[in-house]
Structure formats: structure tokens, C-alpha cells
Amino acid sequence: MPRPSPIPVLVLTGLSGAGKSTALNVFEDLGFFCVDGLPASMLPKLVSLYEGQEVLPGKGLALGMDIRQQDFLRQWGQARQDLAQYDISLQVIFIEAELPELMRRYATTRRPHPLESEQLGLQQALELERNLLEPVRAEADLVLDTTHYSVHDLRRVLQEKWSYLEEQTSGLRVHIISFGFKYGPPKEADLLFDLRFLPNPYFDLLLRPLTGKDQIVADYVFQDESGKLFANKLMEFVLFLLPLYAREGRFRVTIGLGCTGGRHRSVAAAEMLFRNLKEQGYAVSLEHRHIEKG
């Protein structure tokens, strides 16, 4: 494949058991040259092999890295510095899941966690890993919580998110999540808005089977003056905050919009915010976490 400029380099990392290997398979299917378990110190050396070459073995490089590698954190910091000399587009996806779900997955597979020892049980190992990787998570271009995902859900979401990562190789990225409070708010949200004060389409039997993606539902949600005013104030507030986050060097901001079931009001508001931020030139992605449950 002809070499693109800059070279796409995708690093998949995160918590053990969260789905990194599955995610790497998705990018292999998307046409990337994939390597799992690559030591972070080898990343600049691998990139240097393709610097100046006219042909890549795929759309780019997708590399799996995690805490199994000895001295991963120190090597990763040095690797990021060394990569500055190359003409690449580096994207980091951090994959995580909630502690009870990770413990359930390990109980199912019966495999040991890489940090388990005579001194550390599974829960302590998982908690230690999360704390150790927090600096990597903070710098990631995309954080993906797989707690409620099946393998098929993860594949679909990653395929959708990749188009978002391709749109813009630098600057602040915004991820919008609609959700239902009855199923729990997203823990990764930086900003969280409760929309349960808006008119609820659930109580209209004609609207109940629909979702906030349908224009008739959105019109219902924002029909009165308070709804219209909220929509304007929300946009005004978010557009005020995002440049301030960017000025502080933030890579990513996640916005959670919640209603009772995550099917109508939160979805309508998330769709509205997504469209408006796209029009403003932001690299923005959208996830309706509970739309099928609500």
C-alpha cells in the first residue's frame, strides 16, 4: 500500500481484561499491520523502518501495549519523546472496564492477572494497574469503557470511533455519551448533565417506541421555551469551556447527557450537541450507551 503522510500509528493500551486483544483484531480487519505485546521501547525503531519508505504493509501500524511489559511506563514516556522526530499521526486508545466486570472476566477465563503475586490478589492487582496507568489514560485520544459491551458491540463501536480519530490528528477531541440514570452514569465523563427536567416522550404512547434520533421526539423534548433556552445555554456553556480545556493542554473532554432511561431526552440532546460541535469544527464522537435498554 502506498505510504500515507503522516504514517498512521495507533497504540491500543489499557487495563488487562478490558478487550485490547479483541480491539487489535478489529483494526487488523480494517487493514492495519498489527503487533501485540510490542515493548514500548521498540515503537520508535519500528516506525523508523517505514520512514521514507513508499509502501506500508496496510493502512498503518496498530500496536498493542500494556503493563505486561517490564518497565512499560518509563519506556512509554521515552518512546513518546523519541517519536517526535518522525512524520507520524499517533493515536492512543485506552481500553478499560469497571472492576467487578474485570473480575468476572478473569474468573471466567481462569487466567492470572500480570500483576498478581503472593502478596497481591486479583482485586488488588487490578486496582494497582488502574492507578499505574492513569497518566497514560489522561493523555489518550480516546478512552473506551467496555463494561457493558459484547465482542460484537466493541467491534461496532471501534469501527465508528476510528472515523472520528481519522478526522483530526491534533487538538482537543470531544466525546459525547447519552445514558440512562437507571443504568448508571458514565464514570469517564468530565461534564455530566441531568436532563430529567425536560418533557418526557416516554409518556406519549406514539413517541415511546421511537428514540431521540427521530426529529419528532427531538421537537417534543425542546418544544417549550425552557427546552429551547436550555439547548441554547448548553451550547453556549460548552463552547465557553472547550477552549479553556484546550488552553490547559487537555487532549480529550467527555460529556455525559442523562435522562431516566437513556432513550429519548438524553439522545435528542446528545444529537443536537454533536451536530453543533461538528459545525464549529471540533473533532467529536457520539455514543448512545443505553438507547436499546431505555
What does the pLDDT read at residue 294?
62
Q: Is 14 annotated for ligand binding?
A: yes
Residue ranges of the chain whose pLDDT lies below 70: 1-5, 52, 55, 163-171, 249, 294
Q: Is 5 annotated for ligand binding?
A: no
Q: Is 17 annotated for ligand binding?
A: yes
What does the pLDDT read at residue 187?
86
What does the pLDDT read at residue 169?
45
Cα Rg, the chain, nearest whole Å = 21
The length of the chain in residues reads 294
Which residues lie below 8 Å from residue 169, measured CB to CB, with a gap of 6+? Answer: 6, 89, 91
Q: Is 81 annotated for ligand binding?
A: no
Per-residue model confidence as pLDDT tens digits over 160-186? 777 656 655 446 889 999 999 999 999
What does the pLDDT read at residue 163?
64
What does the pLDDT read at residue 172?
80
Which residues lie below 8 Å from residue 128, measured CB to CB, with a gap of 6+? Answer: 115, 120
Q: Is 227 annotated for ligand binding?
A: no
Domains and CATH numbers, the chain: 7-170 (3.40.50.300), 176-288 (no CATH)
What does the pLDDT read at residue 261?
95
Q: Is 163 annotated for ligand binding?
A: no
Q: Is 78 annotated for ligand binding?
A: no
Q: Is 66 annotated for ligand binding?
A: yes
Q: Is 18 annotated for ligand binding?
A: yes
What does the pLDDT read at residue 68?
80
Q: Are 81 and 87 in contact (CB under 8 A)?
A: no
Q: Is 69 annotated for ligand binding?
A: yes
Per-residue model confidence as pLDDT tens digits over 183-212? 999 988 999 999 999 999 999 999 999 999
